[in-house]
């Protein structure tokens, strides 16, 4: 059976030090043993010898079922990830000459995103000669900022990114 060399723990024959401090399957201290003897004890118990603390002198190894240990670790990590709230950045795109009604519709979408708890990136896209009238984009951004002031705060002020003017709005908590 081949083990991954990049695994977080050295297991069985990958432990290359002459002596190790051994902890038994029940958590009892077995003392400092030669690695070959510790490995024999692990094989007799039908378990693996796993290096759990490589920085100590001599390294600490535990006799355990490594497959079961990895499974339990992955279950713990999964449970931790399940309870984390991931924030997502939604994006709304406008044009400098977006009509009043269309802008109100976009603002309602932004409000919905903010109430969900998502950050929202508002982008005003310029095409061709519209780039000469950046003030129209800033006016649109000002309207958005004014309308959403109760639901969110501007996290990143409007700034040009190539041909786009962007700002990021975070929800208020």
* Ranges of each domain in the chain: 12-81, 89-171
pLDDT score recorded for residue 173: 73
pLDDT score recorded for residue 111: 93
Query: Considering the entire predicted model, what is its pTM?
Result: 0.52
Which CATH number applies to 12-81? 3.10.20.80
pLDDT score recorded for residue 164: 94
Q: Tell which phi-psi region holds residue 73, choosing left (phi > 0), alpha (psi between -120 and 50) or beta.
A: alpha
Architecture of domain 89-171: 2-Layer Sandwich (3.30)
pLDDT score recorded for residue 168: 94
Read off the pLDDT of residues 59-107 as tens digits, 9 standing for 90 and up.
898 899 888 888 988 998 888 888 776 678 899 999 998 899 999 999 9
The burial of 69, by beta-carbon neighbours within 10 Å (0-12 exposed, 13-18 middle, 19 or more buried), is given as middle
10-residue stretch averages of pLDDT, the chain, 173 residues long: 58 85 86 88 87 85 88 88 78 92 94 91 93 90 92 91 93 83
Same fold, 12-81 and 89-171: no
Average pLDDT of the chain, as a whole number: 87
Q: Where are the beta strands (DSSP E) in 35-161?
A: 48-53, 60-64, 89-94, 119-125, 152-161
Q: Tell which phi-psi region holds residue 12, choosing left (phi > 0), alpha (psi between -120 and 50) or beta.
A: left
């Amino acid at each position: 059976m081949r083990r991954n060399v990049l695994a977080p723990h050295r297991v069985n024959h990958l432990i290359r030090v002459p002596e190790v401090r051994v902890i038994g399957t029940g958590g009892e201290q077995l003392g400092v043993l030669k690695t070959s003897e510790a490995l024999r004890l692990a094989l007799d118990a039908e378990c693996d010898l796993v290096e759990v603390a490589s920085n100590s002198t001599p390294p600490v190894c535990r006799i355990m079922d490594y497959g079961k240990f990895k499974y339990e670790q992955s279950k713990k990590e999964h449970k931790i990830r399940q309870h984390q709230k991931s924030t997502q950045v939604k994006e709304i795109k406008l044009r400098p000459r977006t009509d009043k009604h269309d802008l109100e519709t976009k603002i309602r979408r932004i409000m919905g995103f903010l109430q969900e708890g998502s950050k929202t990136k508002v982008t005003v896209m310029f095409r061709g000669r519209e780039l000469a009238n950046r003030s129209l984009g800033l006016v649109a951004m000002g309207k958005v900022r004014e309308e959403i002031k109760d639901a969110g705060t501007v996290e990143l002020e409007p700034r040009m990114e190539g041909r786009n003017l962007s700002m990021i709005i975070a929800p208020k908590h």
